[in-house]
Amino acid sequence: MRIYTPAGEIGPEPVHLAPSPSVLAGRRIGILDNTKPNAGVLLGRMAEQLAERTGAIVSTVVTKNAALAAPDDVMSRLREEVELVLTGSAD
């Protein structure tokens, strides 16, 4: 039988993220909500926090059926209206 002791070296201090660059200042963020439960809430909050940190603007919210690819008109709208799209929420 081997017995392992939990005593050991403590890992390094946590590394903190650098401040976000201001390259997104004034840029428009779009949200592609796939209508899964709470996806819109999650993506919306992420976009708001990103906008607060960088000076970006939450501009467009588009919904689509999670089971299908986004229609061409949705993709065209996003291309025309925003520079950054947040999407992707799974069960």
Paired residues of 33 in beta bridges: 63
Q: Could you tell me how far CA 86 lies from the centroid of its own chain? A: 5
Length of the chain: 91
User: Given this model, what pLDDT does residue 58 score?
Assistant: 93
Residue with tokens 């950054």: 84
C-alpha 49, offset from chain centre: 9
8: pLDDT strictly greater than 80 = no
16-44: per-residue pLDDT in tens? Answer: 877 766 688 899 999 998 888 888 889 99
Q: Which residue type, as a one-letter code, is found at position 9?
A: E
Distance from C-alpha of 64 to C-alpha of 43, rounded to nearest angstrom: 14
Q: What is the pTM of this model?
A: 0.67
**Residue 9 above 70 pLDDT?**
yes
Averaged pLDDT for residues 33-57: 90
